[in-house]
Amino acid sequence: MLDRFKHVNDTLGHTVGDALLRETASRLKVSLRETDVLARLGGDEFAIVQDRENNQHAAASALADRVIEIVSRPFDIEGNEVNIATSVGIALGPEHTTNSESLMKMADLALYRAKAAGRNGYRFFDPEMSMAASARHELENELRRAIQQDELELRYQPIVDTKSLLICGAEALIRWRHPTKGVILPD
């Protein structure tokens, strides 16, 4: 995924953004072997499939480093110098899975971990990412249900002036009274 691509579209226009995507694809294609496959998934997302590597982890790291370096070089698009970066998510088959749809999902989870780590880098899929994503999804669903079931309670915590010991305000807090987990604090 290209970092800061939306900024390019917003500031220089979609024509420049489209040209940037074409130039990025050209740069990526030149850096690949004949046996590798490059695809644009949509928007500013590309996928690369590497095949037949003895050491998949090392080969994927080397490719990710190459992609990051290639994309971070300035682009000259219609007289505009455009500087972007990229975040890369990596999933390995058959190590992580042999199912192509699952492999893409795993690469996507790794991609978002790379973006969360500050962009312009790469991350390998780790099974912990799936567990964390599943837990977050479950929590979101439970929270939606909590709103519907009126399980959220409003509490006021007084703010006290330490010199006069008088209440000078209050902080409004929400507490979630979960039917099986008890009171769930915000943290």
Active site residues: 44
Find the length of the chain.
187
User: Is 41 within 8 Å of 122 (Cβ atoms)?
Assistant: no
CB contact burial 59-81 (16+ within 10 A = b; e otherwise)? ebeebbeebbeebeeebebeeee
Q: Classify residue 32 by its DSSP letter.
A: S
Contacts of 127 (CB under 8 A, 6+ apart): none
